[in-house]
Amino acid sequence: MGNGDVVQGTLEMLILKTLALEPMHGYGVALRIEQVSRGVFRVNPGSLLPALARMERAGRVKSEWRASENNRRAKYYMLTARGRKALADERATWDRQTAAIARILEA
Amino acid sequence: MSFWRSLNSGFRSLMHSKRTERELDEELQAFHDASVGEKMRQGMPADAAERAARIEMGSRNAVKHHVRSAGWESWVESFLSDLRLSLRGLMRSPGFTLIAVLSLALGIGANTAIFTLIKQVLLQSLPVYKPQQLVLFGKSLSNGILGGVDVGTYDQYTYDFALQLERHPGPFAGVASYSSFPPEVSVRVPGAGAAEQVTTSLVSGNFFGVLGAEPMIGRTITPSDASAPGQNAVVVVSHHFWQKVLSSDPAIVGRTININSTPFTVIGVMPERFHGMSRDFDPPDLWAPLTMAEAIMMQPGMLAPRSFYFLHMFARTSPQSSVAADQQWLDTQIRNYVLAGEGKTITPERRAEIGRLTDKLAPGGSGVSHIGDKYGTSLNILMAVVGIVLLIACANLANFLLARAVMRQREIATRLALGSSRARIVRQSFMEAILLSLAGGACGLAVAFAATRTLIAFVAEGATYSPLSARPDATTLLFTLGVSLLAGALFGLAPALHVGRSSARLASNANARTASGAGGRKGRFWPNALVTVQIMLSVLLLVGAGLFLRTLEKLQDQNLGFNQTHLLIAGFDPHLAGYTPEQVPALNQRLIDRLSAIPGVQSVALSAVPPMSQGAWHSSLTIPGYTPAPREDMGSVLERVSGRYFETTGIPIVAGRAIAPADHAGTAKVAVINEVIAKKYFPHGDAIGRTLKIGIDSVAGPWRIVGVAQNTKFFGPREKPSPIVYLPLAQIVGKNGEGIGDSFAYTMLLRTKRDPAGSIADLRRAVASVDPNLPLLQIRTIQEQVETFVSHETLISRLTTAFSALALLLACIGLYGVMSFGVLRRQNEIGVRIALGATQGGVQWMVLRESLWLLALGLVLGLPVALGAANAVRSQLYEMSPFDPSILAVAVLVIAAVTALAAWLPARRAAMVDPVVSLRCE
């Protein structure tokens, strides 16, 4: 994790959480994850964009082309209702698992 | 919903792949720009930010590839590209592709052809309501009119018995009956030209109801149409008759047609696929109520109680009743009926005999098929044979593809090293196989169509209307597709496994060819195993072909008891021309006189049936002075013959004299018996001068025996000689010498000096000069007549021979291919050997030895399998052991010769290897 990789299986949850705040383009998501995690996680486009494509296929996010801050066209992703539900579910699972792991480590 | 969205966007990106590509590029560019912008905002110089962003992103193509593979359409894309690759690969070696597709087309085509027939002959259900509920009272395969037997014998029933069960069907939902044979009638449509000869089925009033058949136009016969004898002149016609004779007249219902000069009202037309219970060639064209039997059969008294046994019966089972209960009920009905017909005193033996009477219920959902009865076993054997041929073809292709895979070792290793997934390479290898098999299957359909048409024509024996069709239907197409895919999977497996095991390291090995070439025993396992299997299966087919050929030969070459050449046989039926029994003796005499005058005809005779026949007049005999044991079979075939019958057929008289023209109505009644009867009843050789009586009133006798004729194979070449009594046709008359129902002859026999077929036109002219209305039904030479009795042996032996030749050819090609490839791969080794002093002979022997080992192994494995299979078809053979050593020897010799030849050519090539050239190749 120190090398910047996201914990396996959590990338989608992190993207969902990030997009839950506001619609963002791909780089915005990457930047936000890096900033909020204080540089612990670095998401490169090679895994971010395929993940976004997968999630779009699954109907968890949708996308549209908009003008970005610097007036360039960019593809913005936003959460769908299904995505919101998926986020809640994954979050619950994650909380349960980390709590369990914590208990085991402390035992 | 998400499925549909995924499907939708997948299609969109497939359809608009350019646009999707552009959008992806744009998004990546935007990502990159944003990244550069952010880095510059944090204070990086422009060029450093640019470089850092590029490093972060890595290979743009890799990113794009990953994004694309998120959707299923990427799979389709790679599938299409694999498809293109495979197609290109196949196009590059057109020779291989051609041979592969051709051998598959033959293999798959043969399978489809036999399956088409099996499906139509054995599997297809009647086009009626819930056919699986129908049961036959016995197999209902024998047809004719019986007298003096117990009800249910040969599955034949009387009208009164059938009517009784129709009214009280017991545990069944319904019981119906129909005439066991379709009487031929003469139909005249008012306003139309000549009369048509068509076959008619007499049916009970509830026949269509119990069968559950719906008409196409009008209505079917109902119980009210069979109310009283002679009162219900209505008829239902077949689709075929409606088209051919009634010109597809949509307003035909209610019109009148004349059947045997009686006007009948057409009440309905059946759909095209309906042929009553019949699944045979020339099925009935008309259905009339049984109560009209006299008008249709031109014979009175058919419906009298306990008179004639001429009906087949069937029933629709009720879901509430079990098979055992149904069977028991039927047997009880049969036994009670027979008991009620016995005299006042019944011996205990007879009572016990009646208690054993039964007629086994048989499934009726597929109707009654004589074709199925005759060819069923042959077709099943042939299905196995064509399956084996296809297996051999598959083994061949597996070997060829394996060889290609080995040749492509380097390409595959390179692809693996460059990061291609193993699964994708295996998939492509499989795809090549499936492509080949599908192409083979498509061509196979054409092969199957032609083959099925030929087979049907053979089986039909000249029938004018056939319910079989060569046109493939949905089931057949599905079968072909299934077989193709299965074959593809089968021969794609070995090469795919090989590819799956290849390693990427080989690519870097400069000596890759040597490595794979010296792959040794392990590398050669699959090719050798496949060739061994081919040899094994070829042995099996060759032995089978040998057995069937020998059987046919034995059947044809035996002494049938009559002269098998120069005899012309013609069927005719004076009933159809309106002759009454009284007119028949004069007609017979006129025919004999006129036919004898045909130039080139040596002698002429009339008889009831030809010397070899499917059916016969039959009765029990009483011999004064001979006391039969209880239940002893006293039956005999009766044949009525005109004066020069024995001379004409060439049946030798072994004692006494033949029936002569001088034996006529005015002289003492005489008979000729055959050796079976003479031996059984007159074991001391004292038959001549004794008398016999016959169990049929019109010909009861007594008849004085004047001669003994040699035995003949009356019921076919496979049957044991039957007992036969020959009676003079001219003496079968009433008390005052007038003609009676049994005076009719139905067969003309002409012994000719030259080829009998050359006399057919003269025969037709001669008969027409006697009576232009007298129809000749079927004209055959005696050879053709005998051939109809061995047709399924002919079919199976010809096809098995053809298929085993094909199999052998394929196995040969396979062995040749494997050996040649082996020599090619071992070129270095052989070069070295020659350089070190190996002789040409030595090298040849080295290569040859390997294939001889395969041959030996194939034989060792194949012979037991072949013997087992031969034992399984024992019942199809005739007077020979399934383990006939000469046939086994010939099969082994043939396969050894062919194998040696296929191996010798590559061996010779190996010996020619120039050590300098082959070593320099590296």
In this structure, which amino acid lies at residue B883? F
* CB-based contact B33 A72, cutoff 8 Å: yes
Distance (Å) from the C-alpha of residue B411 to the closest C-alpha of chain A? 29
* CB-based contact B66 A57, cutoff 8 Å: no
Q: How far apart are CA B601 and CA B98, in angstroms?
A: 56
Q: How far apart are CA B41 and CA B53, in angstroms?
A: 13
Contact B183, B199 (CB under 8 A): yes
The closest of B178, B140, B167, B138 to B327, measured between CA atoms, is B138
Identity of the residue in B23, B34, B57 whose CB atom sits nearest the CB atom of A25 = B34
Contacts 24+ apart (CB under 8 A), B411-419: B412/B499, B412/B502, B413/B502, B413/B503, B413/B504, B413/B505, B413/B506, B413/B507, B413/B512, B414/B507, B416/B502, B416/B503, B416/B504, B416/B507, B417/B504, B417/B507, B417/B508
Residue A1 lies in a domain: no
Contact B456, B364 (CB under 8 A): no
Residues 755-814 of B with CB under 8 A from A: none
The per-residue pLDDT for B630 is 67
Contact B831, B838 (CB under 8 A): no
| Average pLDDT of chain B, as a whole number | 85
Distance (Å) from the C-alpha of residue A24 to the closest C-alpha of chain B? 12
Evaluate the omega torsion of the peptide bond into residue B472 and state whether it is cis, within 30 degrees of 0. no
**Contacts of residue B7 in chain A, CB cutoff 8 Å?**
none
Identity of the residue in A44, A73, A82 whose CB atom sits nearest the CB atom of B57 = A44
* Chain A residue at shortest CA distance from B38: A31
Q: How far apart are CA B526 and CA B532, in angstroms?
A: 10
Residue A97 lies in a domain: yes
Identity of the residue in B31, B57, B71 whose CB atom sits nearest the CB atom of A57 = B71
**Contacts of residue A77 in chain B, CB cutoff 8 Å?**
none
The per-residue pLDDT for B510 is 44
Query: pLDDT by residue (tens digit) across B686-709?
Result: 888 888 888 777 888 789 999 999
**Contacts of residue A70 in chain B, CB cutoff 8 Å?**
37
pLDDT mean over A50-75: 83
Q: Which residues pair with B185 in a beta bridge?
A: B198
Q: Specify the number of domains making up chain A.
A: 1
Contact B782, B567 (CB under 8 A): yes
Q: How far apart are CA B49 and CA B33, in angstroms?
A: 10
Residue A57 lies in a domain: yes
Q: Quick one: tokens of B323?
A: 């098979």
Q: What is the pLDDT confidence band of residue B324, given thresholds at 50, 70 and 90?
A: very high
Residue A6 lies in a domain: no
* CB-based contact A58 B6, cutoff 8 Å: yes
B6 has a chain A CB within 8 A of its CB:
yes
The per-residue pLDDT for B148 is 66
**Contacts of residue B54 in chain A, CB cutoff 8 Å?**
none
Structural domain for A71, as ranges: 11-106
**Contacts of residue B9 in chain A, CB cutoff 8 Å?**
56-57
* Chain B residue at shortest CA distance from A62: B5
**Contacts of residue B63 in chain A, CB cutoff 8 Å?**
45-46, 49-50
Q: How many CB atoms lie within 10 A of CB B689?
A: 9
B593 has a chain A CB within 8 A of its CB:
no
**Contacts of residue A47 in chain B, CB cutoff 8 Å?**
66
Q: What is the pLDDT confidence band of residue A4, given thresholds at 50, 70 and 90?
A: low
What is the separation of C-alpha B896 from the centre of its chain, rounded to a whole number of angstroms? Answer: 32
pLDDT mean over B797-809: 88
* CB-based contact A27 B31, cutoff 8 Å: yes
Contact B480, B441 (CB under 8 A): yes
**Contacts of residue A28 in chain B, CB cutoff 8 Å?**
34
Contact B721, B714 (CB under 8 A): yes
Give the alpha-carbon dihedral of B209, B210, B216, B220, to 10 degrees.
-40
Q: What is the pLDDT confidence band of residue B921, given thresholds at 50, 70 and 90?
A: low
Residues 172-211 of B with CB under 8 A from A: none
Residues 9-68 of A with CB under 8 A from B: 25-28, 30-31, 44-47, 49-50, 53-54, 56-59, 68
**Contacts of residue B13 in chain A, CB cutoff 8 Å?**
none
Q: How far apart are CA B13 and CA B354, in angstroms?
A: 81
Q: What is the pLDDT confidence band of residue B503, given thresholds at 50, 70 and 90?
A: low
Q: H helices within B650-759, ranges in order?
A: 675-681
Residue to mutate among B25, B67, B68, with most A CBs inside 10 A, is B67
Q: What is the pLDDT confidence band of residue B175, given thresholds at 50, 70 and 90?
A: very high
Environment class of residue B805 by beta-carbon count within 10 Å: exposed (0-12), middle (13-18) or buried (19+)? middle
The per-residue pLDDT for B508 is 47
Query: pTM for the full model?
Result: 0.75
The torsion region of residue B405 among left (phi > 0), alpha (psi -120 to 50) and beta comes to: alpha
Query: pLDDT by residue (tens digit) across B520-551?
Result: 555 677 788 888 888 899 999 999 999 989 88
At A30, which CATH number?
1.10.10.10
Q: Quick one: tokens of A45?
A: 């486009």
* CB-based contact A49 B63, cutoff 8 Å: yes
Q: Which helix (H) or strand (E) element contains residue B177?
A: strand B174-179
Q: Which helix (H) or strand (E) element contains residue B653?
A: strand B653-656
**Contacts of residue B37 in chain A, CB cutoff 8 Å?**
70
pLDDT mean over B179-200: 82
Q: What is the pLDDT confidence band of residue B314, given thresholds at 50, 70 and 90?
A: very high
pLDDT mean over B837-849: 85
* CB-based contact A50 B63, cutoff 8 Å: yes
**Contacts of residue B31 in chain A, CB cutoff 8 Å?**
25-27, 30, 45, 49
* CB-based contact B70 A72, cutoff 8 Å: no
Query: For B6-15, B82-91, B183-192, which range has the lowest pLDDT when averaged over its residues?
Result: B6-15
* CB-based contact A45 B31, cutoff 8 Å: yes
Distance (Å) from the C-alpha of residue B412 to the closest C-alpha of chain A? 27
* CB-based contact B70 A50, cutoff 8 Å: yes
pLDDT mean over B279-299: 88
Q: Return phi, psi of residue A25, to 5°.
A: -90, 170
**Contacts of residue A46 in chain B, CB cutoff 8 Å?**
57-58, 62-63, 66
Q: Quick one: tokens of B438?
A: 């599908």
What is the count of residue pairs from A and B with beta carbons less than 8 Å apart? Answer: 73
Identity of the residue in A28, A30, A57 whose CB atom sits nearest the CB atom of B9 = A57
The closest of B284, B279, B467, B275 to B368, measured between CA atoms, is B279
Identity of the residue in A45, A56, A73 whose CB atom sits nearest the CB atom of B57 = A45
Q: How far apart are CA B273 and CA B413, in angstroms?
A: 59
Residue to mutate among A12, A49, A56, with most B CBs inside 10 A, is A49
Query: pLDDT by residue (tens digit) across B383-439?
Result: 999 999 999 988 888 888 888 888 777 888 888 887 777 888 888 888 888 999 999
* Chain A residue at shortest CA distance from B31: A27
**Contacts of residue B5 in chain A, CB cutoff 8 Å?**
57, 59
Is residue B65 pLDDT above 90, yes or no?
A: no
Label residues B353-381 b or e (16+ Cβ within 10 Å = b).
ebeebebebbebebbbbebbebbeebbeb
Report the percent of chain B where pLDDT is more than 70: 95
Residues 37-56 of B with CB under 8 A from A: 37-38, 56
**Contacts of residue A31 in chain B, CB cutoff 8 Å?**
34, 38
Helix B94-118 to helix B73-92 angle (10° resolution) is 110
